[in-house]
Amino acid sequence: MKFSTFRALSNAATGMDSVVSYLKGELGRVFNELNLGLSRLDLLENFVSFEVTVEIAANTEKEIPVLLPGNALAQRYLIVDSNEGGLYVCRGDNTWAPGRAYLKNTHSTEDAKIKVIFFK
């Protein structure tokens, strides 16, 4: 963000009305710039997250190392890509712990290959 107009304000400010007027205009410009920057972020840049691709055999549960910053406990997950077997993947029966999560494939014959994002 550029605040080069602060110098112009100090030279032109003659009273409270000019300061208020300046701040209204400057805040609008700052919010527009902030909005533009934030709208260009992708999913992984917006959240504390970890993305991994895993394969889970049919009818099995798999422990997945989750490398979140500070060895944080993953709270949620989102499957962002999968084969047909990925439709049958859900949270595993084991309790999630810092650094690891469990997902299971409930399909009886189809192995699952998924890309999953874990969130703090």
Structural domains of the chain, count: 2
pLDDT digits (tens, 9 = 90+) for 10-50: 555 567 777 777 787 888 888 888 888 777 777 787 788 99
Task: Give the ranges where the chain is alpha helix by DSSP (H).
Answer: 5-12, 16-39, 43-46
pLDDT at res. 42: 77
26 and 70 assigned to the same domain? no
- The first and second tokens of residue 99, run together, are 């650094």
113 and 54 assigned to the same domain? yes
Q: Find, among 92, 41, 40, the residue nearest to 66 by Cα.
A: 92
Q: What is the pTM of this model?
A: 0.68
96 and 83 assigned to the same domain? yes
Range of the domain at 22: 5-39
19 and 60 assigned to the same domain? no
Q: How far apart are CA 43 and CA 29, in angstroms?
A: 25
Q: Report the pLDDT averaged over residues 75-84.
A: 93
